[in-house]
Amino acid sequence: MKVEDQIRTAIDIIKNGGTVIYPTETVYGLGADAFSEKAVRRVYKIKRRDSSQPLSIAVSSFEMLNKIAYIDPESLRIITELLPGPVTVLLRKKDVVPEVLTAASEVVGVRFPDNEIAIRIIKETGPITATSANVSGRNPPTCVEEVEIKADIIINGGKCKYSMPSTVVDMSMVKARADEEEAIKVKIKIKRRGACYDRVLHILRGKIAGKGLHGFPVP
């Protein structure tokens, strides 16, 4: 099946509650309708992932991101520098995001992938789960040959560009205005070093404190 046909099939599968293994710029992801509790539970089962561990969600635009999470103007200025790209941003979720996806947390991890195939799917389906296509605890796949789990379809997008998990930035506690730099400093954290870590750190330092950031919490 050609990639174009795979994409169309994947869109239909997600819309009907199924699961899809799809490429991103980091690793291959396991996607399902993020708003369907039944579909999300299928993802947990396929990954053998404990339901106490939240899943991230993937979007294809900042408009879509705004529908699922609360973003203040200052945070948006930073996020637009980080995304799309190999970064997971932790934000306060809106009620539309089911609790099963976040393990009852008020925080949701959001990906805006820099991958054409992923974006084309999400544009048609709406937000999908963004979790690596592996059994929990095992190495995430960076090409289809490394995928060990089963889904309704696997889309072969070749080798992932970065071939490592995303860098995770926690912005869930940011509630400051633009003139409250001190508050912003202590409320943004890099929770995990991953793809493009140095670039992410550079952006955060530049945006949060123009003359350099002192005491910025990094892993």
Q: Locate the domains of the chain by residue range.
A: 3-208
How far, CA to CA in Å, does 25 sit from each of 30, 133, 142, 163, 170? 14, 13, 9, 7, 20
Distance between CA atoms of residues 65 and 34, nearest Å: 13
Give me 5's structure tokens: 């046909």
Query: Predicted confidence band at 140 (pLDDT cuts at 50, 70, 90)?
Result: very high
- Between vectors from CA 160 to CA 154 and to CA 162, what angle results, nearest 5°? 150
Query: Predicted confidence band at 219 (pLDDT cuts at 50, 70, 90)?
Result: low
The 3-class SS string of 57-70 reads EECCCHHHHHHHEC
Helix (H) / strand (E) containing 206: helix 197-208
Query: Predicted confidence band at 175 (pLDDT cuts at 50, 70, 90)?
Result: low
Q: What's 166's DSSP letter?
A: B
Question: Residues 23-54: pLDDT tens digits?
Answer: 999 999 999 999 999 999 999 999 999 999 99
Asked whether residue 85 carries a pLDDT value surpassing 70, the answer given is: yes
Amino acid at 81: E
Which fold, 3-208? Answer: DHBP synthase (3.90.870)
The 3-class SS string of 73-105 reads HHHHHHHHHHCCCCEEEEEEECCCCCHHHHCCC
Q: Which residue has the higher pLDDT, 208 or 62?
A: 62
* Mean pLDDT, rounded, for 98-108: 97
Give me 177's structure tokens: 């205005």
- The percentage of the chain sitting over the pLDDT mark of 70, rounded to a whole number, equals 89
Helix (H) / strand (E) containing 108: strand 107-111
Q: What's 137's DSSP letter?
A: T
Distance between CA atoms of residues 195 and 101, nearest Å: 24
Asked whether residue 2 carries a pLDDT value surpassing 80, the answer given is: yes
Give me 196's structure tokens: 């493009």
Burial bucket for residue 93 (CB in 10 Å: 0-12, 13-18, 19+) = buried
Asked whether residue 55 carries a pLDDT value surpassing 80, the answer given is: yes
Amino acid at 206: G
Tell me the Cα Rg of the chain.
Answer: 17
| 6 and 156 Cβ atoms separated by less than 8 Å | yes
> Taking the model in full, what pTM does it have?
0.90
Query: Predicted confidence band at 216 (pLDDT cuts at 50, 70, 90)?
Result: low
- Is residue 5 classed as helix, strand or coil in its secondary structure? helix
Query: Given this model, what pLDDT does residue 217 score?
Result: 61
